[in-house]
Amino acid sequence: MEYLINDFDERLLYASNASTHVGVAAAMDGEHELHILLLYIQIPPPIDLRRATATIVDQIRVVQRVAVDVELSEIAQRYAEGHAAGRQRDELWKDMNTSLGMMSHRHRHTSVAVETTFDLSKIDGKLLIRDLVFNAIPSIGIGIGQNQQTGKISVVVLFDYGP
């Protein structure tokens, strides 16, 4: 116990506001010595989806003027929520393509950008569009999902090139 109290690095961890959860384990070894393990983790708080979406759209609009399409955003949102929850990309891609196929009269040419992070401030909307700056993109759909257990955030942007 003395080590935990006197060790500077340990004190930084348990005094930090960044740690949101702590796990504690204790066990005796064969020589009757007590071993204690403290595990500090940080699970990010739930994000404000509206604000996060608006921020990323504004960043994209710095590079190219786009409209946000409600139907594309609904598809992107389902993909982002599934991705954040741990569903396989192949399964999500199949679902997304099925939904886009039903709207092929409006959205014939689309591409997608998917980013995953634990810190939404690390996502740069300008970088999401970096490979597409020479193409006219009239509209986008955007979805953001967050895993409730881990805090993992998935950002999905569908870029529509029109019919």
pLDDT score of 105: 58
Please report, for residues 44, 68, 152, the alpha-carbon distance to residue 39 in angstroms, rounded to integers and kept in the order given: 16, 43, 19
Cα–chain center distance at 122: 10
Residues 6 or more apart in contact with residue 127 via CB below 8 angstroms: none
Q: pLDDT-based confidence at 163, cuts 50/70/90?
A: low
Tell me: do 6 and 71 sit in the same domain.
no
Residue 102 has pLDDT above 80, yes or no: no
Q: Count how many Cα atoms sit within 13 Å of the Cα of residue 86 in the half-sphere of its side chain.
A: 5
pLDDT (tens digit, 9 = 90+) per residue, 122-146? 888 777 776 665 567 788 899 999 9
* Phi, then psi, of 45 in degrees rounded to 5: -70, 160
Low-confidence winner among 14-23, 60-69, 133-142 (lowest mean pLDDT): 14-23
pTM of the model: 0.71
Q: Count how many Cα atoms sit within 13 Å of the Cα of residue 29 in the half-sphere of its side chain.
A: 5
Domain of 106, in residue numbers: 49-160
Tell me: do 30 and 82 sit in the same domain.
no
Low-confidence winner among 83-92, 98-107, 146-155 (lowest mean pLDDT): 98-107
Bigger pLDDT: 24 vs 85: 85
Tell me: do 117 and 156 sit in the same domain.
yes
pLDDT score of 41: 75
Tell me: do 68 and 111 sit in the same domain.
yes
**Residue 115 maps to which CATH number?**
3.40.33.10
Count of structural domains, the chain:
2
Residues 6 or more apart in contact with residue 144 via CB below 8 angstroms: 47, 49, 52, 53, 56, 77, 80, 120, 153, 154, 155, 156
Tell me: do 11 and 66 sit in the same domain.
no
User: Which residues sit opposite 21 in a β-bridge?
Assistant: 41
**In sequence order, what E strands does the chain have?**
21-28, 34-41, 67-68, 110-117, 139-146, 153-160
Assess contact for 26 and 32: CB atoms under 8 A.
no
User: Which residues sit opposite 155 in a β-bridge?
Assistant: 115, 144
**What is the CB neighbour count within 10 angstroms for residue 68?**
15
